[in-house]
Amino acid sequence: MAQNGAKEEGYINKEPLRDNKEPEEQKAAAESKQQKEEDFGYGLYPERGSSKFQQGSIGESLFTFKHKCQIMLQFAMDTSPYAKLLLGAMKSSGCTVYKDRHFSCEDCDGAVSGGFDAATSQIVLCQNNIHQQAHMNRVVTHELIHAFDHCRARVDWFSNFRHLACSEIRAANLSGDCSFVNEISRFNFGLKEHHQACVRGRALRSILAVRKVSREEAEQVVDEVFDSCFHDHAPFGRIPHSKKDAKFAHRDYESRDRYYANL
């Protein structure tokens, strides 16, 4: 929501203020309208505001995709080397992730698969759009990268566009979104710097989905931070181009202190 801030453009109201409103009422009305226009992507996640069923109720389990989503989430946390590395890194950084507290399976807009809600430190998994385990693994990894960035750095998601762009670049680069297999399945082919082009394109699409900015402004900010953020591979230490790469990265991360422990 991606987990996952831009300089928002647009206006509040071009009509003249009515004389019969007090200044405080005028200010409140303007702020309310501005908040609706600059929702920071929350409109894609309607259940962030309300739920059709009470959380944990039988109706919620029987009449939504939530049960299947929860099972796939648990499987991803237990078996995905990408997710296991990130969960370990967050715990080491003092930000232990708890399944029931930090993940939420919800119905979302058809354009998104997941998001990171920085206001609640919660990852949203779009249960109506995630139907395969491989897809769940990628979404969990992508959003955990945003959560890791939120944990290790003072990311200003809502007002610093560069921070948002950097985390989206890192998530696209390190989550497996741009792996060779995934790109072939999308019928995207290329030889020279294809991975970089994929990362740039997916980061750009993520930004445009949650911020009301022009494509030109988004491209400019992505270009400004791309090199430094693309080469920031923490906590993997490398770009995990495949599940095998991720397993090696996880093994290296688990063994990172072994030498010093034996001194």
Q: Digits of tens for pLDDT over the chain (263 positions)?
A: 444 433 333 322 333 333 444 555 555 555 544 544 466 777 877 877 654 445 555 455 445 578 999 999 999 999 999 999 999 999 999 999 999 999 999 999 888 999 999 999 999 999 999 999 999 999 999 999 999 999 998 899 988 999 999 999 999 999 998 987 776 776 676 666 789 999 999 999 999 998 989 999 999 999 999 999 999 999 999 999 888 999 998 999 888 866 555 54
- Domain containing 73 — which CATH number? 3.30.2010
Number of folded domains that form the chain: 2
- Long-range contacts formed by 101-109: CB under 8 A, 24+ apart: 102/147, 103/73, 104/47, 105/65, 105/66, 105/69, 105/70, 105/73, 106/45, 106/47, 106/48, 106/51, 107/46, 107/47, 107/64, 107/65, 108/44, 108/45, 108/46, 108/47, 109/43, 109/44, 109/45, 109/46
Considering the entire predicted model, what is its pTM? 0.76
Instruction: Please identify which residue in the block is written with the tokens 């200003």.
Output: 156
3-state class percentages of the chain: helix first, strand second, coil last, to nearest 5: 55, 5, 40
Is residue 17 situated within a structural domain?
no
- Based on the fold, state whether residues 145 and 169 are members of the same structural domain: no
| Cα–Cα distance, 12 to 212 (Å, whole number) | 13
Residue 174's alpha-carbon distances to 35, 130, 225, 239, 257, in angstroms, are 32, 20, 16, 6, 23
Is residue 185 situated within a structural domain?
yes
Describe the strand order of the beta sheet including 122-126 as a list of residue ranges: 103-106, 122-126, 114-117
The sign of the torsion formed by the CA atoms of 207, 146, 241, 130 equals: negative
| Cα–Cα distance, 44 to 28 (Å, whole number) | 25
- Based on the fold, state whether residues 140 and 123 are members of the same structural domain: yes
Joined tokens for residue 79: 């078996």
| Cα–Cα distance, 218 to 85 (Å, whole number) | 30
Domain that holds residue 189: 157-236
Residues classed as catalytic? 143
- Based on the fold, state whether residues 227 and 144 are members of the same structural domain: no
- Based on the fold, state whether residues 143 and 174 are members of the same structural domain: no
